[in-house]
Amino acid sequence: MAKFKYPSVYVEESSNFSFQITEKASTVPAFIGYTAITNDNGKNLLFQAFKIQSIIEFDSLFESDENPPQGHSGFYLRDSVQLFFQNGGTICYIVPIGNYDQNPSQIDFNKGLDCLDDSKKITVYLFPDAVLLNEFELGEVQRYALAKCREFPNRFCILDMKNIADNQDIYQPIKIFRNHMGTENLKFGAAYTPWLKIPSTDGLLEIPASGAIAGIYVKTLSQKGIWKAPANVSLNGVVDLTYDYSTIDQEFLTLDLVQGKSINAIRKFPGRGILVWGARTLAGNDGEWRYVNMVRFQNHLIASIKNSLEKVVFEPNDANLWMTLKVVIETYLYGYWRNGAFPGRKTEEAYFIKCGLGSTMTSQDLAEGKLIIWIGMATMQPAEFSLFKLEFQMVSD
């Protein structure tokens, strides 16, 4: 008998086969950077992920009396984590890559990213301290992180750029950022500007925006859903911006006709406060992968489905399995369609699932033990589908 667990889980039970699709966590950030403490009573803390649920927990693990928590270290990790929690963040992971006595190194950041390869929980990369690198090294780290997201498609990067220096052309950091980002894997990341001004013991402290933005991602997920744009949301814990972009400035940020690398503006509006005013990925000229919420939503669904179907490799690769998989996946996606996550007045306009001999597999595929599923999902317009292929190698008796 079939059992439904609306909206996200469907269980199909039979005498020999039972499984369910379970949701993977979609917004669990990893903050990679420098901390005051990297050794705890002889235990090395470097290049490991530590789960925390508050800034108090961060301070107890990684700060010390010799290094006051705010405004004195010259690094940005701790204050970025605080903004994460102030803006809706609940759980994150900290990856220490060095202490405050070290000079920031591209190698450290790459090793920090590498140590997360086996994590089943991390979905967002942040490394605000990387802005302390030179422009070339910063671009190298950011491209490396984007490539990681291609390798682990349920992951996404929130990127920072250099601050606007005194007497500098306000567009110069943006131009430099775009020139160093390359052309690959742009759909897996989004960048935000300008820097934020927050209160500290020394007055106002200027820090990159990524930590606050990660909190907004979590807040949008919990209040509206992962398919909703994390934009038009006010920032907490921020008293000012390092630059007040105009509407004309924003056009320069959003529209990059040459390279297609959109940058999201953070802006001040009278009576409304400081708002996140954009939700575009770096792939600004790509109609399919232009928006942060659409990329993260589709990748989240595919990751949840793929992760939940891992045990099908032990089942007979036959018509009964193919039909069961289609029904289970369709019912999972139906819950999202009913909640308004997909466009289309009919489910046929929102998604489709194909699995079977002659539609997704040949006789040769079956002989080689392959199970292939094609999933189409419309996120921008009804019946305009993004296609995803899931392939499993079946375990023979």
Domains in the chain with CATH codes: 29-294 (3.40.50.11780), 313-393 (3.30.360)
Mean pLDDT of all residues belonging to the chain: 92
Alpha carbon distance, N-terminus to C-terminus of the chain: 27
Is-contact 109 141, C-beta < 8 A? yes
pLDDT of residue 11: 41
Is-contact 181 149, C-beta < 8 A? no
Evaluate if residue 8 carries a pLDDT over 60. no
Section 157-173 average pLDDT = 90
The token pair at 222 is: 């919990």
The single residue listed with the structure tokens 């009573």 is: 41
Phi, psi angle pair for 288, to nearest 5°: -80, -35
Measuring CA to CA, how many Å separate 204 from each of 33, 45, 196? 22, 31, 9
Angle CA 51–189–195, to nearest 5: 80
Among candidate residues 223, 377, 354, the one with its CA nearest the CA of residue 296: 377
pLDDT class of 5 with cuts at 50, 70, 90: very low
CA dihedral 220, 221, 224, 225 (to 10 degrees): 140
Strand partners, 222: none
Q: How many CB atoms are located within 10 Å of the residue 63 CB?
A: 18
- Amino acid 376 reads G
- Amino acid 101 reads D
Is-contact 214 92, C-beta < 8 A? yes
Evaluate if residue 225 carries a pLDDT over 70. yes
Compute CA 10 distance to the chain's CA centroid, rounded to the nearest angstrom.
26
Beta-sheet strand order (sheet of 18-20): 3-5, 9-13, 18-20
Compute CA 325 distance to the chain's CA centroid, rounded to the nearest angstrom.
27
Measuring CA to CA, how many Å separate 356 from each of 59, 353, 365, 371, 373? 54, 10, 11, 8, 8
Among candidate residues 342, 370, 344, the one with its CA nearest the CA of residue 356: 370
Evaluate if residue 345 carries a pLDDT over 80. yes
Phi, psi angle pair for 319, to nearest 5°: -60, -35
Does the model's pTM come out above 0.85?
A: yes
- Amino acid 97 reads I
| β pairing state of 124-126 and 29-34 | parallel
Instruction: Render pLDDT for 78-93 as a digit per residue (tens, 0 to 9).
Output: 999 999 999 999 999 9
Instruction: Render pLDDT for 285-339 as a digit per residue (tens, 0 to 9).
Output: 888 899 999 999 999 999 999 999 999 999 999 999 999 999 999 999 999 999 9
